[in-house]
Amino acid sequence: MMRYMGAAVSAVIAAPIEEVWALVSDPTRHPEIAGTGEVRAVQVVGGGPVGLGTVFESQQNMRGARYVTANRVVLWEPPYRFAWRVGLRVNPGVGQIYGFKLTPEAGGTRVENAMASIYAAPAFFPFSLLHEELGRREAGAMRPTLANIARVLGAPPPTDYQERREAPSELAAQLPSPLLQGATVAGLAAALIAFTLRRRQRA
């Protein structure tokens, strides 16, 4: 079975859902909470309130490499779900998806930070190792994000962490069929292999 790679980390933050939502659903405040530290500044294109279809540009700095992404909001269900798909200025919202899911719980709000990659692979071994590795890396960046949310809200450190090294279904549903995506990747890989073999035969 083909499955998109991804990850999700959740924890309970001792703050009302309305306060958490006001923070995570405002893209311009993401530089304050992004666990990777790569998000430097965010601007909503056209201004106005954020909602489904809104595009916001994010200035990134990844290990000294500076670039700008254009992200399109693909899930907007206040105050529970907010997700955006990464892209470029010339083509917003064509890459991976990131998002937050909020659920009221005793003592505060369970906050889930999740992502769905654009890469799909079979779920069985040895491809399962790819799912595990990408999930592990993404989850490692999400834990600091949850800690930052608590800090910015003036709440104690998050508790009851839970981790999944797979793309949540609600995010994966925003992407093309994983079978189609996997077939496309496999086709490109096969074409590259065939091209390489032909070049070697001519040499």
One digit per residue, the tens of pLDDT, for the chain of length 203 reads 788 889 999 999 999 999 999 999 999 999 999 988 888 999 999 888 899 999 999 998 888 889 899 999 999 999 999 999 999 888 888 889 999 999 999 889 999 999 998 888 777 788 778 788 888 888 998 999 999 999 999 999 999 999 999 889 899 888 887 655 555 554 544 555 565 667 666 65
Residues 186, 178 contacting (CB under 8 angstroms) = no
Residue type, 45: V
Residues 100, 110 contacting (CB under 8 angstroms) = no
pTM beyond 0.75: the answer is yes
| Angle between helices 17-24 and 127-152 in degrees, nearest 10 | 110
Domain 2-175 is found in CATH 3.30.530.20? yes
